[in-house]
Copies of this chain bind each other. A is one copy, B any other.
Amino acid sequence: MDTSKDLAEQNLIAKILEAVGTDLLKAEQIFAEELQTDQPVIRDIHEHVSRFRGKRIRPTLLLLTADACGGINHNHHVLAAVVEMIHTATLVHDDVLDDAETRRHVATVNSRWNTETSVLFGDYLFTHSFHLASSLDSTFACRKIGRSTNVVCEGELTQIGERGNLDLTEERYFEIIDGKTAELCAVSCLLGAHYAGCTAEETEALEQFGRDLGSAFQIADDILDIMGEETQAGKSLGSDFYKQKMTLPLIRLLRQADPADEEVIRGLLANPSPENWEKLAPYIQEYRVIDSARQTANEYATSARAHLAKLPASNSRTILEELTEFAIQRSH
The residues of A with any CB-CB pair to B shorter than 8 Å are 37, 39, 41-42, 89, 93, 96-97, 114-117, 119-124, 126-128, 130-139, 142-143, 145-147, 149-150, 152-154, 156-158, 160-161
Contact = CB atoms under 8 A, between A and B. Distances in A.
A127 B126 contact: yes
Contacts of A126: 123, 126-127
Contact of A139 (B93, B139, B158): B139
B120 A146 contact: no
Contacts of A149: 123, 127, 130-131
A158 to B, nearest CB: 6
Copies in the complex: 2
A179 to B, nearest CB: 10
B124 A153 contact: yes
B158 A41 contact: yes
A130 B142 contact: yes
A136 B134 contact: no
Nearest to A45: B157
A134 B136 CA distance: 12
Contacts of A147: 131
Contacts of A114: 160
List of 3 A-B pairs having minimum Cβ-Cβ separation, nearest first = A131-B146, A134-B142, A127-B149
A128 B119 CA distance: 17
B97 A157 contact: no
A96 B136 CA distance: 33
Given A139-B134, A139-B137, A143-B135, A160 B127 contact: no
A120 B156 contact: yes
Nearest to A38: B154
A221 to B, nearest CB: 20
Contacts of A142: 130, 133-134, 139, 142
A116 B97 contact: yes
Contacts of A139: 134-139, 142
A160 B110 CA distance: 13
Contact of A127 (B41, B119, B146): B146
Contact of A120 (B93, B116, B124, B130): B93
A124 B96 contact: no
B161 A134 contact: no
Contact of A93 (B123, B128, B145): B123
Contacts of A158: 39, 41
A139 B156 CA distance: 28
Contact of A157 (B41, B131, B152): B41
